[in-house]
Structure 1
Amino acid sequence: MDRDEANFFNENNDAEKGANVSEVQVSHEDKKLSSKPSKDKLSKAERRALQEAQRAAKSNKKAAASGVAAHVTGKPTEASKQPPQKKNVPLRTSSVPVSETKGGNQPSEKDKKKDIPHPRMQYDDKSRVEKAKKRSVVKQTEVRNRVELFRHLPQYEYGNQIHDLESKIFNHDSVHPAVYKVGLQYLSGDISGSNARCIAMLCAFKEAIEDYHTPADKIITRDLTARLNSYVSFLSECRPLSISMGNAIRYLKTRITKLPSSLSESETKTAISSDINRFIHEKIVVADNVIVQQAATKVRDGDVLLTYGCSSVVEMVLVYAHEHGKKFRVVIVDSRPKFEGQGLLRRLVAKGLSCTYTHINAVSYVMHEVTRVFLGAASIFSNGIVYSRIGTACVAMVAHSFRVPVLVCCEAYKFHERVLLDSICANELGDPDVIAKVPGRKDVNYLSNWMNKENLQLLHLLYDATPSDYISLIVTDYGMIPPTSVPVIVREYGKEHLF
């Protein structure tokens, strides 16, 4: 072997060693990159881009090493035949996936606004109150002596414009006469109770839809939804809507928007009326029957059952248990100013039940002989808070201190996904004059001129919030559940588009 051939083989070996060293260096760098912990969690697209960059750097170093050998031998290698790859591959540093940056799955601003819940009307906002007064149909006078802590709630003197509204009942174009009549009954207090108010509202809507005719340049589903919005605004002016009424309105609007556009006007009105009838039958009538049958199983012979106020579902439970031969006694606790328990007392005594009547200030005196407490509810929130007539929380707390089980009977359509922590943010104020006077006792009506006293404010709350710790069981048409299982009912109702 001559000297030139020896030099050639030495140079070739050195090139191969250099290539091996570069591969080892690249592998070490790959290990460093792979072993280096990432501060931010990368998306799938970012990890793919990082791997492509590492492969490109590795192939570039291999090409550089093989280029030395090609220069020595004068023959192109396989690596040098391949087209050169880009050295600088930009890495994605943001945490947004590639598909979202192109606008593929990114929600629009209109969809984002739909997800945000509509803010509740704050009546301490003067500008918004003035705008609401201009649009309102019911012109009511506001209470002069407001309680500072509850200024965000609507505070009106109810019943001042009833006679004026009755004269306009058939002369108003924007509100149907059936809806007008129901609003007057809300305003005067002739219709009370969550179920009764909801049924009256739906029946009025049904009558208004039957008399509805689509304008020539309107689409029936859109124009009908706008008409319902005006009806709802009028009813809320007469009295704030209950949770059950809000759920029923949301259900009805959802059914209207899902109707196919190929239907004629008569077919559309028939379908909506059928949906209203189905809601009343399934969610109220059938639900009450299921609750009654389940709650009656908790009544045993010799029990002393206590109830507060007048709940239609609780009344049905007591009558059902009595008709099936169970022997028990009922303690009815009542309170001012409506004394709803007196009507319940008369009906139960007429049915042959043994009853005891007392006021709420004596509830701790009679609780020692009570075995179970049955209560109604206007609504139940997602955190297990029971929203019911004022005084319910007091009765439940006294029963809890005496270790008496408290059962709440409530239909599932009254459940709400919102969370309530107190009875201040969401409540309803009644007429202060009602609590300022004692019926039948003119000699003790010392607050007859309370509005002329600037340093005196009267607070008449209609509802309170009972914490879930004082509730033993909730009887619904889905079954008997603890307060911690309320979100399950809310989720099931969400599938039916009620919320």
Structure 2
Amino acid sequence: MEIRGAGKIARSAARGLKLVAGDDEIKSVEELIEKLKKASKILIDTRPTAVSLANSVRFVTGDLEELSENADLGEVREKIISRAEEFIEKSEKATEKIGQIGARRISDGDTIMTHCHSTNALSVIKTAHDQGKDIRVIATEARPRQQGLITIGELAKNDIPVTLIVDSAARFFMKEVDKVVVGADSIAANGAVVNKIGTSQIALIAHEARVLTFIAAESYKFHPSTLVGELVEIEERDAGEVVDPDRFPGVEVRNPAFDVTPAEYIDLIITERGIIPPEAAYELLQEHFELSSEGEIF
């Protein structure tokens, strides 16, 4: 939790693998491959829901055995470092592009509700503001870790009018909202979106109020395993983030970090490749990931 935000997590994973590849104490290709495999597992296990992390590792390492075949240590190092730098650059450019594409859907005078902290959602909002559009933002605090405070800090720093509300006040304020813009940690093949806990309630409230809900996410947030029917693992964090369990002995405290928003509550998904309806998630996933006859995704 030192690094928060799916895109930042993915880029940090790429930087971590780059550090492993550049370790001068590694003296053979075999040792490097083993170290990369170990680092990849450690990284992926830290945040199981954020598929951007796994996709980042997949992009950087690829097929390690094939990569090392007939190659010397220097060549393998260079390839891993090059891939890591390529991923980081593509990720940063994707966020910028999402802001440009998404801002077209923001109108002058809009009030936007956002939840938690999303670099991509903020890119859309900041770009619209930079274009001279008169907008204001209603941001939730995102209990229990209060990532919403990061969001309001960035908005205030950019002189964008913002109001902070508690998560449970979303329905009360929805009557003032023109559009909901949030990020995503994972997007399934059926268009369902996994994001910070509370997102599904906001999307449902917006749907009920006929307020458009936009998801801002890079294409590497789409989850390849859902092509073959696997479910996205929902990370459940320590109960101590919610309350000190010792204060209430015998009481079970649950702390899921994410929830799933059904595709029918989402109007558009904004990616660096353009805007798609949630129903088009399957096609986008097929374009990005090859599916073998054994159901293994590369």
Give the counterpart of 2:94 among 287, 295, 304: 287
SS of equivalent residue, structure 1 residue 469: helix
The DSSP-based 3-state class of the residue aligned with 1:339 is coil
Q: Secondary structure at the match of 2:133?
A: coil
Q: Check the 8 A contact 1:259/1:268 in 2, yes or no.
A: yes
Aligned to 1:346: 153
Could you say which residue in structure 1 is the equivalent of 2:190?
Answer: 383
Deviation digits for residues 58-114 of structure 1 (CA, Å, limit 9, x no counterpart):
xxxxxxxxxxxxxxxxxxxxxxxxxxxxxxxxxxxxxxxxxxxxxxxxxxxxxxxxx
Offset of 1:347 from its aligned partner? Answer: 2.0
1:270-294 deviation line (CA, Å, top 9, x unaligned): 1221111111212x11111111110
Structure 1 segment 310-321 matched on structure 2, within 5 A: 310-321=117-128
In the alignment, the residues of structure 2 paired with residue 264 and residue 404 of structure 1 have an alpha-carbon distance, to the nearest angstrom, of 57
Q: Distance in 2 between matches of 1:317 and 1:425?
A: 26
Q: Match of 1:126?
A: none
> Does the 8 Å CA contact 2:44/2:54 hold for their aligned counterparts?
no
Q: What is the match of residue 247 of structure 2? A: 449
CA distance in 2, matches of 1:418, 1:458: 30
The percentage of counterpart residues that share the same residue type is 28
User: Could you tell me how far 1:257 is from its partner in structure 2?
Assistant: 3.9
Matched with 2:217 is: 410
> Structure 2: how far apart are the matches of 1:404 and 1:392?
14
Higher relative contact order, structure no. (Cα contacts within 8 Å, ≥ 6 residues apart): 2
Secondary structure class of the residue paired with 1:290:
helix
User: In structure 1, what is the equivalent of residue 283 of structure 2?
Assistant: 488
Q: Which residue of 2 aligns with 1:206?
A: 18
C-alpha deviation, 1:192, in angstroms? 1.7
- The answer for unaligned runs of 5 or more in structure 2 is none
Structure 1 residues 402 and 338: CA distance shift in structure 2, 3 A: same
Shift of 1:372: 0.7
Determine which structure has more spread, i.e. the larger CA radius of gyration. 1
Measured after TM superposition, the shift of residue 261 of structure 1 is 3.8
Q: For 1:445-494, what per-residue CA distance to the aligned partner results, in whole angstroms no more than 9, with x for missing partners?
A: xx5433xx33x211000010000000000001121000110011111111
Q: Of residues 269, 275, 294 in structure 1, which corresponds to 2:83? A: 275
Q: How many residues align?
A: 290
3-state DSSP of counterpart to 1:195: helix
Query: What's the secondary structure of 1:338's corresponding residue?
Result: coil
Deviation readout 1:190-214 (Å, 9 max, x if unpaired): 1122112221221111111111534
Give the direction of change, closer, same or farther, for the CA distance of 1:494–1:239 in structure 2 (3 Å limit). Answer: closer
- Using structure 1 for the length normalisation, give the TM-score: 0.55
* CA–CA distance in structure 2, aligned partners of residues 491 and 276 of structure 1: 23
1:401 maps to what in 2? 208
Q: Is the 8 A contact 1:256 1:272 kept in 2?
A: no
- 1:334 aligned residue (141, 151, 154): 141
Q: What is the match of residue 135 of structure 1?
A: none
Letter in 1 for 2:77: K
SS of the residue corresponding to residue 326 of structure 1 reads: coil
Q: 1:431 aligns with which of 238, 242, 245?
A: 238
What is the aligned counterpart of 1:366 among 158, 173, 180? 173
User: Is 1:229 matched with 2:229?
Assistant: no
CA shift digits 1:129-162 (9 cap, x unpaired) = xxxxxxxxxxxxxxxxxxxxxxxxxxxxxxxxxx
CA distance in 2: counterparts of 1:374 and 1:384, whole angstroms: 16
Once the 2 structures are TM-superposed, how far is the Cα of residue 269 of structure 1 from its aligned partner? 1.2
Does the alignment pair 1:242 with 2:50?
A: yes
Cα distance change of structure 1 residues 335 and 263 upon mapping to structure 2, 3 Å threshold: closer
Q: How does 1:62-77 map to 2 (within 5 A)?
A: none
SS in 1 for 2:128: helix
Q: What secondary structure is seen at the aligned counterpart in 2 of 1:489?
A: helix
Q: 1:252 aligns with which of 40, 60, 66?
A: 60
Letter of the structure 2 residue corresponding to residue 449 of structure 1? R
Distance 1:462 1:323 in 2: 32
| CA 1:350–1:238: 2 relative to 1, 3 Å | closer
Per-residue CA distance 1:343-396 (angstroms, 9 max, x = gap): 211221221111122112111111112111101000101011100010000000
Q: What is the CA deviation profile of residues 215-235 of structure 1, one whole-angstrom value per residue up to 9, with x for unaligned ones?
A: 4xxxx2x54332222223334
Q: Does 1:325 align with 2:132?
A: yes
Counterpart position of 1:469: 264
Instruction: Indicate conservation of the 8 Å contact 2:94/2:272, yes or no.
Output: yes
Determine the C-alpha separation between the residues in 1 that align with 2:162 and 2:72: 56
Contact residue 193 and residue 263 of structure 2 kept, 8 A: yes
> Structure 1 residues 459 and 405 mapped into 2: Cα distance closer, same or farther (>3 Å)?
same
CA spacing shift, 1:378–1:276, aligned 2, 3 Å: same
Task: Return the offset for 1:319.
Answer: 1.4
